[in-house]
Amino acid sequence: MRGSDERTGSLFSFVDLEDRVPARHPLRKIRQIVNDALATLDGEFSRLYASEGRPSIAPEKLLRASLLQAFYSIRSERQLMEQLDYNLLFRWFVGLGVDDPVWVPTVFTKNRDRLLDADVAAKFMAAVLAHREVKPLLSNDHFSVDGTLVEAWASLKSLRHASYAASQRKRKLIEEAFGWAKTIAGLAKVKVRGLERVRHQFTFAMAAYNLIRMPKLLGWAAV
């Protein structure tokens, strides 16, 4: 029997967002790491906000929403708020309930900029890298330097160095990070003014790039 195309309404409805997100969805692993990193910054967040007055947007929710904006190439805060309004996956990741109202785009931007000014991006990046599951993936065996403007380092003699072949392999990995930040995370054209804010925005994009790679590196994938 063919089902009806009519919408069936109901007086009451309950949606458990945890049940709507697949158990092996990549964002589950990312959210776990993000929440652990944010927990270590609890004291830092407390110092940024006054103990009295009207409650602001929780900084944890601001950062999770900003990560989604980078992950999914959302061009503006207005589009991000639209997605949060109807996208159950986004609501689950940020920490909003099904019936929770979304924020006005300008309010979201103003509150997020407070975190950028406080250098939270660098501290969040450090917390992610120090995570118990992420730290074992780090290595001090190799570092790369852009020597194109340093004549001594750009010398042909460097081509005879034993580590040159390793540097060539690693260079592609470094360029991938910059390419992702430009094409996916929206840094092809910066949307903030001032070197400090640009630096914070870039640092946060690099934190997002590291996080988006974690499910694959940790063997966590959708099935």
Domain ranges of the chain: 21-140+188-217
Residue 123 near residue 41, CB atoms below 8 Å: yes
Residue 124 structure tokens: 């969040």
Q: What's the confidence (pLDDT) of residue 200?
A: 84
Residue 175 structure tokens: 């360029």
- Note the pLDDT tens digit of each residue in 45-98: 888 877 777 777 888 998 999 999 999 999 889 999 999 999 999 999 999 888
Residue 34 near residue 215, CB atoms below 8 Å: no
| Higher pLDDT among residues 57 and 144, named by residue | 57
Sequence-ordered list of residues with C-beta below 8 angstroms from that of 45, at least 6 positions apart, any chain: 59, 60
Distance CA 122, CA 196 (A): 11
Residue 93 near residue 87, CB atoms below 8 Å: no
Euclidean distance between the first and final Cα of the chain, in Å? 32
Indicate the pTM of the whole model.
Answer: 0.81
Give helix 120-129 / helix 195-217 axis angle, nearest 10°. Answer: 20
